[in-house]
Amino acid sequence: MRQRQPRVLPVSMEEGKRLGIDQFDVIIVSGDAYVDHPSFSTAILGRVLWEEGFSVGIIAQPDWRSRDDLLSLGAPRLFFAVAPGNCDSMVNNYTPARKRRSEDVYAPGGKPRRPDRAALVYSDRLHALFPEIPIVLGGIEASLRRFAHYDYWSDRVRQSVLADSPADILVFGMGEQQVVEIARRLDGRTGWEEGTPIPGTVEKIALSGFEPERYPGLLEIPPYSAVAADKEAYARAFALHYREQDPVHGRPVAQRHPKCMIVQNPPAPPLSTRALDAIYELPFSREAHPDYDLPVPALEPVRFSLTSHRGCFGGCSFCAITHHQGRIIQSRSIGSLVREARRLFSVRGFSGVITDIGGPTANMYGMVCDRWGSAGACREKQCSPGCPHLNLSHAPVSALLSRLREVPGIRKVFVSSGIRHDLVVADGFSILPQLCGFHVSGHLKVAPEHVSQRVTNIMGKPDISLFLDFKREFEKLQEGRKKRQYLLPYFMSGHPGCTLADMAALAEFMRDHNLRTEQVQDFTPTPMTVSACMYHTGLDPFSLQPVHVPRGREKAIQRALLQYWDPRNRTLVREGLLSAGRRDLIGKGKKCLVGGENKKEKQTKGKSP
Ligand code: SF4
């Protein structure tokens, strides 16, 4: 029976009882604190299930070393949903240099409470306590570790997280449709065609019970034993499953593991505008659960933000969005976003400023390819502004921003997350005056990432000349402005394909354009990205051609070159420039990036062993 949505989802039996619940249908176990905001997966999935008539309890950040937290809500009637959080637990717990972080922004007061490999730890503990209850794995961590994958933190290829865990099924992608369908089936209700595989899920099947005919068009990729032992096999397997991540033409993909077969069904179909509107218009309180004494740091930057769309067709090699949200843009309606903006006035502390609106790439709102509906996103081709099928008009985002500005009481609507500058250039800069006129709060983020064309090609980023075109127009718009705005370009060090000579060229570019990056983006090979595959194998997975991979000291030098002006980096910068044959950039000259060794440095060096 459908119950009214509660103000916050229950996190204790007492709260459940107050809502008339003796046993929850579904219990979500999360590595994040429970924040009732649509940017947090636990809140979205919990509220969507509730809307479908399932009662949901939440166990947030349980102490996994004792039984009490995991026993606190009893056994669910249908299943446990293990969602380790908005971020992979290893990315969350460690820096790119593999040092343990002292803060967890998804925890009250930033105090870490999340185990490493949370998906495995939570599901193991739950299975030990409730062996009869099904476990559904989901969230970014499970989604991006669904096949055998290279794990940077243990520096080895691990099995699919589903093969390693006692969970029964894995949900990948955004998950709403899949968890509802799993709940319906376990509840004996009818949903998608009964007994058929559920799109957007990965199944674990005993080797003796595997029936390939159940999966029409099944593609079998090299098994775990091969990809763990052979880097070329890993790269081939990666390219094969990468091409099947499309809801229209994607085929089921199987990978044999020592004790089971892992089968990824095609991704869930894109959500319609109406369905997406309905999800984001659920009554999120935009507050952390009132039980928390301390604020959850990750909430503040997004509390008054709006999500306008999902998906990204940018194809950056180091980003896993393609494997998680897909390339097809799913946009909300302007009416729904206006209603959500109006509702912000009921949230404590809202002053009429929408701090951000967008999706993975803010200016892709409303963009569409005329083939997505019938043929899906191209298997062999990345989307680019030059594709004749892509409508990259900024008219939809322009209309959305204009309409939001007209909402009574709304004082500002900022676009704080990154935009694709190449799309703005390709569309004749039409959106730029509006952006600079109303929606930039001081800094506009763009991500050229590198200046070397060879490196940007490997990264899947546009040529640096497009950034310069964009910058020129941006600067023109600053003329006569009372309050100057700044471009905040992001550059990355240590990416596969990038040499010390490339980094020296990037440092020169930053010098020539007076750009200084305070926050260094040091490449981290996160699971299931093209770049992580290159990092592990030293191969481009699509051409199988070798790619240079900076590691160890070279990676540290590349990182230092991004901040060549910082005195703490002098030694590494000099070493890097000498190795790159760029002695001309060391010394007192106007163009030099770093001075020569001073007396003290020479003495220290003389004493070192
Ligand atoms: S036709 Fe062009 S825009 Fe459409 S999916 Fe293919 S590459 Fe992308």
Supply the pLDDT for residue 482: 86
Summarised one tens digit per residue, pLDDT across range 339-372 is: 999 999 999 999 999 999 999 999 999 999 999 9
Supply the pLDDT for residue 519: 75
Longest pairwise C-alpha distance within the chain: 79
> Can you tell me the mean pLDDT for 46-58?
97
Summarised one tens digit per residue, pLDDT across range 401-426 is: 999 999 999 999 999 988 999 999 99
- 389 CB less than 6 Å from ligand 1? yes
Q: State which of 322, 371, 382 you would mutate to test the pocket of ligand 1, scoring each by most atoms of that ligand within 8 A of its C-beta.
A: 371
Phi then psi for residue 464, to 5 deg, are: -65, -25
pLDDT at position 191 over 70: no
Distances (CA, A) of 219 to 255, 266, 334: 9, 11, 40
What's the 390 CA to ligand 1 centre distance in angstroms?
6
Contacts of 366-371 with CB under 8 Å at 24 or more apart are 366/309, 366/329, 366/331, 366/393, 366/395, 366/396, 366/397, 366/400, 367/313, 367/329, 367/391, 367/392, 367/393, 367/396, 367/423, 368/329, 369/313, 369/328
pLDDT at position 601 over 90: no
- 100 CB less than 6 Å from ligand 1? no
CA angle 474, 475, 476 (to 5 degrees): 90
Which contiguous run of DSSP H or E holds residue 203?
strand 201-206
pLDDT at position 192 over 60: no
What's the 59 CA to ligand 1 centre distance in angstroms?
42
- 466 CB less than 6 Å from ligand 1? no
pLDDT at position 21 over 80: yes
pLDDT at position 193 over 60: no
Supply the pLDDT for residue 194: 60
pLDDT at position 553 over 50: yes
Name the CA radius of gyration of the chain, rounded: 25
What's the 389 CA to ligand 1 centre distance in angstroms?
6
Q: Which atom of ligand 1 is nearest to the CA of 377?
A: 5
Summarised one tens digit per residue, pLDDT across range 141-156 is: 999 999 999 999 999 9
Tokens for 327, please give them.
Answer: 């390339």
What's the 382 CA to ligand 1 centre distance in angstroms?
7
Label residue 277 by pLDDT band (50, 70, 90).
very high
183-192, 492-501, 536-545: segment of lowest average pLDDT: 183-192
Supply the pLDDT for residue 608: 46
| Length of the chain measured in residues | 609
For 31-152, list the strands marked E by DSSP: 35-36, 56-60, 79-83, 135-137, 149-151
Distance of alpha carbon 523 from the chain centroid? 14
Residue 431 and residue 398 in contact, taking contact as beta carbons nearer than 8 Å: yes
Residue 558 and residue 566 in contact, taking contact as beta carbons nearer than 8 Å: no
Tell me how far apart the alpha carbons of residues 242 and 534 are, in angstroms, rounded to a whole number: 13
- 364 CB less than 6 Å from ligand 1? no
Question: For atom 5 of ligand 1, which residue has the closest CA?
Answer: 377
Tell me how far apart the alpha carbons of residues 155 and 132 are, in angstroms, rounded to a whole number: 34
Which contiguous run of DSSP H or E holds residue 447?
strand 443-449
> Can you tell me the mean pLDDT for 179-184?
95
Q: Please tell me the pTM assigned to this model.
A: 0.93
Summarised one tens digit per residue, pLDDT across range 572-595 is: 999 999 999 999 999 999 999 999
Question: For atom 8 of ligand 1, which residue has the closest CA?
Answer: 383
Question: For atom 6 of ligand 1, which residue has the closest CA?
Answer: 378
What's the 377 CA to ligand 1 centre distance in angstroms?
6
What's the 393 CA to ligand 1 centre distance in angstroms?
15
Label residue 517 by pLDDT band (50, 70, 90).
confident
Count of beta carbons in the 10 Å neighbourhood of residue 320: 19
- 381 CB less than 6 Å from ligand 1? yes
What's the 426 CA to ligand 1 centre distance in angstroms?
15
Tokens for 228, please give them.
Answer: 């763990």
Q: State which of 249, 328, 378 you would mutate to test the pocket of ligand 1, scoring each by most atoms of that ligand within 8 A of its C-beta.
A: 378
Average pLDDT, the chain: 94
What's the 373 CA to ligand 1 centre distance in angstroms?
11
Question: For atom 7 of ligand 1, which residue has the closest CA?
Answer: 383
Question: Who contacts 339 (Cβ-Cβ below 8 Å, separation ≥6)?
Answer: 281
Count of beta carbons in the 10 Å neighbourhood of residue 231: 16
Supply the pLDDT for residue 603: 67
- 383 CB less than 6 Å from ligand 1? yes
Q: State which of 368, 374, 381, 392 you would mutate to test the pocket of ligand 1, scoring each by most atoms of that ligand within 8 A of its C-beta.
A: 381
Amino acid at 389: H
Summarised one tens digit per residue, pLDDT across range 471-481 is: 999 999 999 88
Supply the pLDDT for residue 58: 98
> Can you tell me the mean pLDDT for 363-391?
94
- 249 CB less than 6 Å from ligand 1? no
Residue 162 and residue 262 in contact, taking contact as beta carbons nearer than 8 Å: yes
3-state secondary structure of 94: strand
What's the 332 CA to ligand 1 centre distance in angstroms?
21
Tell me how far apart the alpha carbons of residues 25 and 183 are, in angstroms, rounded to a whole number: 8
Phi then psi for residue 495, to 5 deg, are: -75, 145
Pick from 548, 555, 433: which is nearest to 492 by CA? 555
199-208, 254-263, 453-462, 474-483: segment of lowest average pLDDT: 474-483
What's the 188 CA to ligand 1 centre distance in angstroms?
40
Q: Which atom of ligand 1 is nearest to the CA of 387?
A: 2
Q: Which atom of ligand 1 is nearest to the CA of 382?
A: 7
Pick from 332, 334, 323, 461: which is nearest to 406 by CA? 334
Instruction: Give first-to-last CA distance, the chain, whole Å.
Output: 75
Supply the pLDDT for residue 327: 94
For 208-274, list the strands marked E by DSSP: 219-221, 253-256, 260-264
User: For the chain, which residues make up each domain, given as ranges?
Assistant: 13-199, 479-609
Summarised one tens digit per residue, pLDDT across range 420-460 is: 999 999 999 999 999 999 999 889 999 999 999 999 999 99
List the beta bridge partners of residue 150: 157
Q: Which atom of ligand 1 is nearest to the CA of 381?
A: 7
Supply the pLDDT for residue 609: 42
> Can you tell me the mean pLDDT for 283-307?
96
Distance of alpha carbon 72 from the chain centroid? 31
Supply the pLDDT for residue 1: 55
What's the 331 CA to ligand 1 centre distance in angstroms?
17
Question: Who contacts 383 (Cβ-Cβ below 8 Å, separation ≥6)?
Answer: 313, 314, 315, 327, 369, 377, 390
Supply the pLDDT for residue 469: 97
Pick from 475, 457, 453: which is nearest to 465 by CA? 453
Label residue 380 by pLDDT band (50, 70, 90).
confident
Tell me how far apart the alpha carbons of residues 172 and 142 are, in angstroms, rounded to a whole number: 7
Sign of CA dihedral 336, 341, 345, 346: positive
Q: Which atom of ligand 1 is nearest to the CA of 313?
A: 8
Report whether CATH 3.40.50.2300 matches the domain 13-199: yes
3-state secondary structure of 151: strand
Supply the pLDDT for residue 2: 60
List the beta bridge partners of residue 358: 307
What's the 328 CA to ligand 1 centre distance in angstroms?
10
92-101, 191-200, 291-300: segment of lowest average pLDDT: 191-200
pLDDT at position 548 over 50: yes
Tell me how far apart the alpha carbons of residues 159 and 228 are, in angstroms, rounded to a whole number: 9
Supply the pLDDT for residue 605: 61
What's the 140 CA to ligand 1 centre distance in angstroms?
26
> Can you tell me the mean pLDDT for 47-54?
97
Tokens for 205, please give them.
Answer: 């099947």
Question: Who contacts 145 (Cβ-Cβ below 8 Å, separation ≥6)?
Answer: 88, 119, 151, 158, 160, 161, 527, 528
